[in-house]
Structure 1
Amino acid sequence: MVTDAYRSAGVDIDAGNRAVDLMRDAVRSTYGPEVLAGIGAFGGLFDASALKVARAPVLVASTDGVGTKTRLGVALGKVAGLGADIVNHCINDILVQGARPLFFLDYIAMPRLDPERVAAIVTGAAAACRAAGCALLGGETAEMPGVYAEGELDLVGTIVGWVEREEIIDGDGISPGDVALGFASSGLHTNGFSLARKALAGEDLRADRPELGRPLGEALLEPHRSYLPLYERLLAAGVRPKGLAHITGGGFIENLP
């Protein structure tokens, strides 16, 4: 009776339960022994004693969204990469202060819940979390008819990581003569898609592009690159950056320290 009432209002509780069933294994694949409660609980529990090896750990948190790249993913029926997009974007955001990820939470909103679409996004997010040694600790799937138009999707993530207090990177030590290193992106990442969609309006995104070796739409949907492996390689080589920047909205001018 209650379920029927919700369904008549445009909210499908059964679809929500099916989405959880479809994503459960992927989410749990990110868990380590420090995860005490995750999917299905009102709040995720993470054992902070995992940081006992640290001398003076500082928690670093960040929230961001995928933006209008979601429209392209929905239009092309390819949304799995969006999950990796939001995880890696958040990882890079805290990495610029020298932080490594501990756990991640996602928020997925749409007008009508599509369990398979939600599961594909979360599975992509879980794969990115596993690659970074980060737990997908929880999240929210919101069905909001009347707020989002049919076919729309909003994807947001929150990450919490940690860094030793004495190893926080803030750019204060940068001085003339220091070497600047740039690392290639995998594409547009998760910024600039409103402009890109306007500039490419009318283009066939499914057609193969010889210069790209694949369709244009597929190239645009290339997931956001995580720079964590490169950062780890720098540290292993004895290089400790004085400053880092994640080039996102605003480009070089707005993001360089």
Structure 2
Amino acid sequence: MMKSNDLIRRETKVQLSGNYGQGILATMVPGIIVGIANMIIGTLIGQSYVISLIVSVGFSIITTFMVAKMSLNLAHGAKNAGFDESLSPGESLLNVMYYVIIMQVISLLITLPINKIFFDAWIVSEDTFSNLIQNFQGSSPELLGFIWGYVGSMVLVVILLMFITYKIIYVAFIIIDQKVGVKEAFTKSFIYTKGNFFRIIGMNLFFIGWYFLSVPTCGLLLFYVIPYETLSRTNLYLEIRIENGDATGRDFDQVSNTETKEEVDPFETREYNKY
């Protein structure tokens, strides 16, 4: 039987109960460390676009791998997410690198042509743009056409990128969890997301309100929200994986117990009724 997002979130709360330190370690610490390192290196290397892009992609690879691996460790019931276990070298890290690079290339291929078309056509020189601005009195057809054409195109780009991101949202999880190659991970992610649009988007949208609430707390609430959100999305992936017949290890025990109508406690030592 398909689990609701609400049940998955309640299971996640149980999983994090008394274990939030590991949740923070798995979902926030890698990003914080990489962010600080990125700022330091950015300051040292200056404004070189190419070097900045390479560094950014490199850090994105590390963050994607660490967060996905450590979140999966916790979701599978490991008592310690641990940097040692998460950063063990292997083919998975290499495949995550390929995945991140492919995503960067796709993003550039989609956005660069639109920027080039509009800016080559309308901003031939600084004087051209200056004249457009000076002559703009609220009804300039040229400037309005540029603005609406560019904004409309960028909206379409954002929608396209969101769709692509949604379809391959589980690629990193699949690479690490199932130890498969990039091509198979992309294929499986497309399969997993088919028919699950509202479940996946709904899980993400649920936490938007929490992020707004973090503003009055000067961001302190994020130490609760980010582990809760990340592990909930990880558990949703594991549930969808089981539904698609890719259950392995302890997941088979859960499926077997469900089929025999026994009450299942995925985390073995805690019960949900206190929530």
Higher relative contact order (CA 8 A, sep 6+): 2
Report the structure, 1 or 2, having the larger helix content: 2
Question: By percentage of residues, which structure has more strand?
Answer: 1
Shorter-chain TM range is: under 0.3
Larger radius of gyration: 2
Give TM-score scaled by structure 1 length: 0.27
